[in-house]
Structure 1
Amino acid sequence: MKAFTRETSTVVAIAGVNCDTDQIIPGRFLKADRAQGYGQFLFHDIRRDAQGEPDPAFPLNRPGADAATILLVEDNFGCGSSREGAVYALADHGIRAVIGPSFGDIFYNNALKNGLLPVRLPTVVCEALAKHLAEFPDAQVTVDLETSELMLPGNLGTHPIVIEAFARDCILRGLDEMEMTITYLEQIEAFEAARISSHPWLGR
């Protein structure tokens, strides 16, 4: 996965609590070839009108929105099914971080395992940020994982990014759990050699 250290970007605010994984990527697209990218299916149904055409009112359809790599969402984002495709769709679209008050537990863990940074922020701060972005749509946010700080525009201040240490290390280095394990291959092989030496019957 792509390493994440620091990201500065404009922000797209997606309104609505309990945005589930079927809204993020409808289940019928999960059979598509991942090599072709799932980004094309991101919010597929809710970003289109009744005729299937892009709805200009949907935040990601507005001019310049495609350049944003950070989303601001509302409570319980990514709830519902366990589909990892929801994270793939966001990542393939170019989203590097999602800021919100809370996330579906499985979505949150899937995000960390795929280099998409979910940043929890108190509801009152998220609401203040949404209000600021409505007035200043070109305002930028900086997500700095090296310093574990989230820097907001205006007078909204700097806030801590709190994620589990192992996940943080993986994302900073751009390594998934298997790749991280391989970095310890020398130590693993030395342990196995010593174990066989002291317990030779295990090697039979």
Structure 2
Amino acid sequence: MTPFTTLAGIAAPLPLVNVDTDMIIPKQYLKTIERTGLGRGLFDEMRYREDGAENPDFVLNRPAYRKAEILVAGDNFGCGSSREHAPWALLDFGIRCVIAPSFADIFYNNCFKNGILPIALPQDQVDLLMDDAERGANATLTVDLEAQTIQGPDGGTIPFEIDPWRRHCLLNGLDDIGLTLEKADRIDAFEKEAAQARPWV
């Protein structure tokens, strides 16, 4: 997993509440277990028209936001089903951070396991960042996970808090597999001892 340290990127505004996981990545994309290629289906029903053409009114289709790496969203982001394809699709598109007043629990946990930083802030602070994000190509935010701050385009800073263990894992690029591999020496030693003690197994 790619470590998350400091991210300076364009923030896209998505001022919608209750954006569920089916809106993030519709069910027809769930046939794959691959984590790549899902960016094409991100927000499918809002990004594309019935004929498959792009909807020019959708924020991520606008020229200023096509390479957005941060999403500023409304309350209860990621509600609905527990599909892990939702953070996969965000990450594959290029979104590394989502800022909202609140998140659905399972989606929130899945973000950390896939290298995305979800930041929950009070509504008034999200409103300020949403206003920053509306600036188009000038909508650059800097998210510093080490310092736990978000800096706006005008230099204003908003602090945020993340659970220390989750922060450690993101800073070091550790998912569940990475955490297990940190103990590889102890696992190998245990297996050797077990093989000597029970050679018949």
SS of the equivalent of 1:12 reads strand
1:105-143: per-residue Cα shift (whole Å, max 9, x none)? 100000000001101111111112222332565131111
Partners of 2:138 and 2:102 lie apart in 1 by 25
Q: Residue in 1 aligned with 2:185?
A: 186
What amino acid sits opposite 1:180 in the alignment?
L
What amino acid sits opposite 1:107 in the alignment?
F
Once the two structures are overlaid, the 10-residue window that deviates more, 128-137 or 89-98, is 128-137
Once the two structures are overlaid, the 10-residue window that deviates more, 162-171 or 57-66, is 162-171
Partners of 2:91 and 2:52 lie apart in 1 by 23
What amino acid sits opposite 2:74 in the alignment?
E
Q: Residue in 2 aligned with 1:90?
A: 90
Q: How many pairs are equivalent? A: 201
Per-residue deviation, 1:192: 7.1
Q: Residue in 2 aligned with 1:45?
A: 45
Q: Residue in 2 aligned with 1:24?
A: 24
What amino acid sits opposite 1:101 in the alignment?
P
Partners of 1:156 and 1:136 lie apart in 2 by 18
Partners of 2:107 and 2:177 lie apart in 1 by 19
Indicate conservation of the 8 Å contact 2:138/2:153, yes or no.
no
Q: Residue in 1 aligned with 2:170?
A: 171
Indicate conservation of the 8 Å contact 2:132/2:152, yes or no.
no
Q: Quickly say closer, same or farther: Cα 1:183–1:168, change in 2 above 3 A.
A: same
- Structure 1, unaligned runs of 5 or more: none
Indicate conservation of the 8 Å contact 1:170/1:177, yes or no.
no
Indicate conservation of the 8 Å contact 1:129/1:156, yes or no.
no
Per-residue deviation, 1:67: 1.7
- Structure 2, unaligned runs of 5 or more: none
Q: Residue in 2 aligned with 1:147?
A: 147
Per-residue deviation, 1:36: 4.8
Indicate conservation of the 8 Å contact 1:11/1:70, yes or no.
yes
Q: Percent identity at matched positions?
A: 41
Partners of 1:144 and 1:191 lie apart in 2 by 39
Once the two structures are overlaid, the 10-residue window that deviates more, 23-32 or 127-136, is 127-136
What amino acid sits opposite 2:106 in the alignment?
I
Q: Residue in 2 aligned with 1:121?
A: 121
Once the two structures are overlaid, the 10-residue window that deviates more, 177-186 or 128-137, is 128-137
What amino acid sits opposite 2:63 in the alignment?
P
Q: Quickly say closer, same or farther: Cα 1:74–1:114, change in 2 above 3 A.
A: same
Partners of 1:167 and 1:195 lie apart in 2 by 33
Per-residue deviation, 1:49: 3.2
Q: Quickly say closer, same or farther: Cα 1:193–1:155, change in 2 above 3 A.
A: same
Task: Give the aligned CA root-mean-square deviation in angstroms.
Answer: 2.5
User: What is the TM-score with the length of structure 2 in the denominator?
Assistant: 0.88
